[in-house]
Every structure is written in C-alpha cells, then in structure tokens.
C-alpha cells in the first residue's frame, strides 16, 4: 500500500496512510464552513461591486471598494462589516482561471490560515534547543536521506551497516523537534491546533513555521542537526536489540527516490562513503519485506498524482507516482522504527498516542468477499459468522488475491483496491494500544515525522521520557482528546488534499480539451458504481462521473453488492473494472467535478 510522497510533501511513510483518503472520497467536499470569511469573485451589478461566492451557493455580498482587487479577481471577503449583505476584501487571491490561485482559494475556503501568527514566526526564526546532557555525537557515522527530488524538509535520515550474514545494524535518525518545541509554548499550541501539515499541488500548509520545518529541524546534508535516534540490531527480520537516544548527526548525502532506483538498477554508481550503508539498508529492507508478507499485511498499491505548473500557475502536466524499491526501502525502515518505539512505550506503560487500526467486523469481510465474487475475482474461504480476527485475515488474503488478479488481467486496480479499503475500519490515534490490522502489527505508533504530524511529537516526548533523555511524559488525561483531535485534523487534511488534486486534474483536463478538441474520445475504466451512475478513470489520470441519465434507452439497477449496474431491458451490465469509451460533457474545475457521456460501453 502506498500514500503519496512527492512535491516535498514527505507524506506518511507507513502502510496505513491510504485508509483515511479512501474514506474521504465519500465525504461531502463542499460543505460550508461556519465563519464569516467567504471566497468570492468580484463582479459589477448595477452601481455596486459584489462578491459572487465561488465554492458554495450563497447570496451575493456588496463589497467595499479596495485598490488591491479588480473586477474578476478571486478574493477573500469578510462579511458583516457594515451590516448584513456587506463585506470587505481581506486579501486578493488571484484569478479564477489560474489553477494555483484556485487551489489557494480552496485552502482558505476550508479554513486553513495560510499564515502563522507573527509571534509564532518570530519564535521559529531564532529557535533555542533545550540543553540536554548525554546527547550522543554521531557526526562521524555515515548518514543519508532519501526523499522526493523536490523535498524541502527532511525529517528522517538513516545509517546502516551489515554486521554478518543476514545481520544488520540500522540507525533511524528523526529530527529532534521536541528539543525546540516545548510543551505549551506558542509554537506547540499552534502545532496542536493545526495537527498536521496539509500538502496540495504546488502548496503546503505546514504544521510548523519554515524556520523549524525547513531549517533548524530539517536534516540537511553537511549541516549539524539534532536528532532522536533509534538504533536497531537485526538478525534477519527480527530485532535482537533496540536502543533510543538523543543525538547530533550530519547527513553526508541528500539522495532522492529516482537516483536510488537508478543505483539499484545499475544505471548509476553509488558513491563513497554511503555506497555500502545504502547496500546494507537495502538488504535489511528486503528481509523486513519478507517478514511483513508472512505477517499478513495488506497488499494494496495506489498511484498518486504529481502535477507540474508553469510560472503563471497553470497546470501543465500530471504523472502518476508509483511506489518503487527506493520508496519501499524507506517505508520498511520507518515502520520498523515506529513499531519498536510503540513496543517500548507499551512495555513501560508510558502514556502516548498509538496509531491504531482495529480489526474489521466479520460482516465487512463477508460483504467484501461477496463483492469480489460478483466480479469474478478469486476469494479466500470464509467461515460462517467470522470473528474480527478471521475477518481481518480474510481481507488480508483477499488483498493479495486482488493484487494478483489486477496484475494478470491488467484492469480493476483502482476499483477493486477501493473495495478492499472500504471493508476496513479507519486508522486513527488512540492512547490505547489496539494494534494495527493493516500492517499486521500488535504495536504501532507514529514517531518518524514530527515536523508534520503532532502525534509524532507526542511520541517523541513519551519515548525520551521513557529512556531518561530529558522530557516529561505526556499527561495521560489529555491524550484521549488529543487523539480524537489529531484524527479529525488528519481527516480534514485528506479531504482538502483530495479536493485540491481534483481541482488540478480538472484544470489540466480543460487545457487538454482546448488543445485537442472537446469531442475527443477517451478510453476509461469503471472504478465504482452507485445508483446514479458509474465513476470512471479515463485518459491520463482523469476521473469523472457517467450518469445513468445519459445512458438512454435503458433502465439501470444497482446489484445488491454495489458492484454492477444491470440494464433491465437489454441485459447489459456496467461492472467495476469494465472498459468504457467516453467523452467529456462538462468540467466544473472549482468543485473538481467532471461529467461524462458514453461513446462505447
């Protein structure tokens, strides 16, 4: 399973990261927010300057004239300044025909601040690290980072050495954010409020100000940085010894995924001093991968979009980012570190936030098996009235069968993986250690990304408290609320990210249609069905809706499993995974929606 890790996002490097995103697809993405700020387009109505709400339906607002904005501009308005129906311009955002400006407007519409309070910014520009005795000097240890080529913040680095046949020592170094962000200070309160960084095409809403996220806490090559290190001794895939401590490191090389893949393919040489450590990390990751397969972890692959923009802010291209061996290397090592931290905290009963993914209900597994069977996909046996444990095992096996079916048939990847994900409960944060079904682990937390996730910062404080490294343990009474808040903020971020991707796709589609003609046919594949129609992935990464009202001459009914639209007159069927040929009927870029009509079913 993969979650997007590009554009400098440094997204979650663990397998549970896809789950909330799939749930977000079902959520209402255009809900109005309970506040007085409105994103609008300035228009002239008679003698008045008015703001026409851009994302949601609502009354026009009479706008006080402002030299910063002109007719046709996309602006942020604050209503109620001079009575009902009046508003003033808070800021000019840009133009409604520029994708980057619309994405910025979307973020503001969803309540993201887009700026830090000046006092928080000042505190981050000149951060002072807490002076802790016993910090280990690892600057002579060969260390490197592996991130997207466009990454700006590097919160994890690794060192590795092979100590014998099937034996390795791995160091996972994570930025010591807790040394700079103290419990209850200005930056900590703002980080808690934000909960997570939000990454959208060409933009980011960071959890921490740039002075920390991109400078003081970023593990840049050739610069001394404070870290929290997990030192792990592996005998095969098993951890023979684990220790945790504060450290000072200096990264020797800033590697990116593409370069590492070229090295692994033999197309580019690895250089000293990091050539042997990289090879050792690769060997350890391969052993960990074999262990994960044996543990019954889910096998779900996803392709995430990466967009390119020109200087004016228009989308010029999109490409699917597929998880490669370099991605999996980092993912395996980060999961290992997260697991070992969670195990230590659980054994020592130190209060913290775990990343939990509970077992699904048995009925969810039964429905998934029925859905896959209705589409002719091989399924595992399932006992009558399965227990949650049996259901989880069946879903894990089903995910592997789906992956094999997709590879063999070369179709159904998006839709079938979505069915598997919908059978699962949603991963969340909880002070109780309830295990992680998606990863097949009994202990798991988020420790490896404290620059962009608040629960990771909580885990750092808990871990450093447990090993006597100068931190107080989190207050247990506050953790249930913190877990609920962090989970909610994560879900909100997923919704914004999904909506922004849809907006960028729509702008690119409009550009493509303008250049090639609006009557262009596209090959597509059905990724989901509902009573109102079929969802279709088409062209180069586009998504749209094929309404049944456009399928004339037939009455369509959804089957009980929710996988097939059956025609009651002709016997035709539209199934998840079916190939279709479509044309674009309408593009609504601000809402990220595309309506299609059929050319060939």
Q: What pLDDT score was predicted for residue 552?
A: 78
Q: How far apart are CA 41 and CA 34, in angstroms?
A: 20
Q: Give the Cα separation of 448 and 368 in Å (integer).
A: 33
> Using H for helix, E for strand and C for coil, what is the string for 487-552?
HHHHHHHHHHHHHHHHHHHHHHHHHHHHHHCCCCCEEEEEEEEECCEEEEEECCCEEEEEEHHHCC
As a whole number of angstroms, the distance between CA 9 and CA 199 comes to 6
Q: How far is CA 596 from the centre of its chain?
A: 28
The encoded tokens of residue 250 equal 């200096």
Cα R_g (the chain), whole angstroms:
25
Nearest to 454 by CA among 481, 424, 433, 426: 481
Mean pLDDT by 10 residues, the chain (601 residues): 34 43 40 67 90 88 87 90 75 95 96 93 91 94 94 93 97 98 96 96 95 95 97 97 98 97 97 97 95 74 85 92 92 97 98 95 92 94 88 88 90 90 92 92 96 98 97 97 97 96 95 88 94 93 92 88 91 92 93 91 73
Within 68-221, strands assigned E span: 74-79, 86-94, 136-137, 144-147, 156-164, 167-175, 198-200, 203-205
Contact 177, 450 (CB under 8 A): yes
The predicted pLDDT at position 519 comes to 86
d(CA 343, CA 346): 5
| 384 neighbors 369 (Cβ within 8 angstroms) | no
| Helix axis angle, 413-422 to 388-409, nearest 10° | 180
* Residues 6+ positions from 462 with CB-CB distance below 8 Å: 345, 350, 351, 352, 471, 473, 474
Closest CA to 315 of 521, 151, 101: 101
Q: Which one-letter DSSP state was computed for residue 196?
A: B
Residue with tokens 């025609």: 567
- Using an 8 Å Cβ cutoff, are 577 and 416 in contact? yes
Cα gap 216→234, rounded to integer Å:
31
Q: Mind listing the domains of the chain with CATH numbers?
A: 15-25+117-358+426-502 (no CATH), 37-109 (2.40.50), 362-422 (no CATH), 517-600 (2.40.50.140)
Contact 581, 523 (CB under 8 A): yes
Q: Where are the beta strands (DSSP E) in 344-496?
A: 354-356, 428-430
Whole-model pTM?
Answer: 0.89
């Amino acid at each position: 399973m993969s979650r997007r890790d590009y554009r400098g996002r440094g997204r979650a490097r663990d397998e549970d990261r896809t789950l909330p995103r799939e749930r977000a697809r079902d959520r209402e993405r255009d809900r109005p927010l309970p506040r007085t700020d409105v994103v609008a387009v300035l228009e002239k109505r008679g003698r008045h300057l008015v703001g026409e709400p851009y994302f949601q339906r609502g009354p026009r607002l009479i706008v006080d004239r402002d030299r910063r904005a002109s007719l046709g501009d996309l602006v942020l308005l604050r209503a109620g300044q001079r009575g009902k129906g009046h508003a003033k311009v808070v800021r000019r955002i840009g133009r409604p025909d520029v994708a980057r400006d619309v994405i910025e407007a979307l973020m503001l519409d969803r309540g993201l601040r887009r700026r830090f309070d000046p006092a928080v910014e000042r505190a981050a520009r000149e951060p002072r690290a807490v002076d802790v005795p016993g910090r280990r000097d690892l600057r002579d240890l060969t260390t490197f980072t592996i991130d997207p080529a466009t990454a700006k913040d590097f919160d994890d680095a690794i060192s590795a050495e092979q100590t014998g046949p099937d034996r390795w020592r791995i160091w996972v170094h994570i930025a010591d954010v807790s040394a700079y962000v103290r419990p209850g200070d200005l930056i900590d309160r703002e980080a808690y409020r934000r909960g997570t960084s939000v990454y959208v095409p060409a933009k980011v809403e960071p959890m921490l100000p740039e002075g920390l996220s991109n400078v003081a806490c970023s593990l840049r090559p050739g610069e001394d940085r404070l870290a929290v290190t997990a030192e792990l001794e592996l005998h095969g895939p098993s951890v023979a010894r684990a220790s945790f401590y504060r450290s000072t490191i200096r990264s020797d090389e800033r590697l990116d995924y593409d370069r590492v893949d070229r090295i692994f393919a033999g197309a580019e040489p690895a250089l000293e001093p990091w050539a042997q450590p990289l090879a050792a990390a690769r060997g350890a990751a391969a052993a960990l991968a074999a262990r994960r397969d044996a543990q019954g972890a889910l096998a779900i692959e996803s392709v995430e979009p990466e967009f390119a923009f020109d200087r004016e802010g228009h989308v010029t291209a999109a490409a699917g980012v597929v998880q490669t061996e370099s991605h999996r290397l980092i993912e395996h090592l980060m999961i290992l570190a997260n697991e070992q931290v969670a195990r230590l905290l659980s054994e020592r009963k130190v209060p913290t936030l775990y990343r939990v993914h509970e077992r699904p209900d048995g009925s969810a597994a039964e429905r998934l098996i029925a859905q896959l069977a209705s589409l002719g996909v091989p399924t595992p046996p399932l006992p009558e009235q399965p227990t949650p444990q049996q259901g989880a095992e069946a879903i894990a096996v089903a995910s592997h069968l789906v992956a094999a079916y997709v590879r063999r048939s070369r179709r159904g990847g998006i839709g079938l993986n979505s069915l598997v994900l919908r059978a699962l409960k949603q991963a969340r944060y909880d002070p109780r250690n309830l295990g992680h079904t998606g990863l097949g682990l009994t202990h798991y937390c988020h420790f490896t990304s404290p620059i962009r996730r608040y629960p990771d910062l909580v885990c750092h404080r808990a871990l450093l408290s447990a090993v006597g490294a100068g931190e107080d343990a989190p207050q247990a009474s506050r953790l249930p609320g913190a877990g609920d808040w962090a989970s909610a903020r994560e879900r909100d971020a997923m919704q914004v990210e999904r909506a922004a991707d849809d907006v960028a796709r729509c702008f690119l589609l409009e550009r493509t249609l303008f250049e090639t003609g609006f009557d262009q046919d596209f090959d597509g594949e059905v990724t989901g069905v509902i009573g109102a129609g079929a969802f279709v992935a088409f062209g180069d990464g586009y998504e749209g809706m094929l309404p049944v009202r456009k399928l004339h001459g037939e009455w369509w009914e959804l089957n009980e499993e929710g996988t097939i639209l059956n025609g009651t007159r002709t016997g035709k069927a539209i199934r998840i995974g079916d190939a279709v040929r479509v044309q674009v009927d309408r593009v609504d870029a601000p809402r990220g929606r595309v309506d299609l009509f059929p050319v060939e079913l």
